[in-house]
Structure 1
Amino acid sequence: MPKTRIMYIENKSGSLNGPARIGRVTFSKTGRSIRYNGRTFQSLKGSGFKANYFDIDTGERFWISGPRKDGKDRLYSESTQAVEIDNDVAEEYWHQIREMTRPD
């Protein structure tokens, strides 16, 4: 069974503060790529500016990392854009990662 994990995913291709989500990714068998929502991402291996992965089909750049317990996942905290949380991971995210009750 492929390894999965809840991750923070932010699109950095348009600006330094792009659309962001919390969702479950699937790692390839080799661990060299990540799949999420029909997209496949590969590591920039340290060569990216404020991004660490790219979409292999579109070339768009992303910041993908483990979500933080304090919820401050954005690189630039002054962003006012909300971070969306996928419904299928919301309960697990709030209870296991944030150690809080899910706000409604």
Structure 2
Amino acid sequence: MVKAKVVVISVILSLAPACALAWNGYDYESGSFVEIEKGNLVRTGRDIEYYDYKNGEYRSATVDSMRSGPGSVEVEVYDHQTGDYRTLEMDRPPSGRAKEMPGLPGLPSLY
């Protein structure tokens, strides 16, 4: 019985959205993959930190605007190191989050 609960909980946790870890995207102007890590609140006017794979370094920026498309979110940022604006096309995060998943009968709450 306990082993079955552990298996079910493991499956649920493995299905948690990837956006809980990082938000992946691409800068078409520079040809660079980028990643905004967990802990960054990506909203207009907020400062964020992202990893630029082409330059191999973390960069800080201010979010200038955000536009939602059918399969992605376009995030325009002002890069503090270069003084340039960059448009990052980020993968659209899954709409559901682990906390919104329905509870399973007979299992303790994970939250």
**TM-score with structure 2 length normalisation?**
0.25
Ranked by relative contact order (alpha carbons within 8 Å, sequence separation 6 or more), the top structure is 1
Higher strand proportion: 2
**Greater helix percent: which structure?**
2
Say which one has the larger Rg: 2
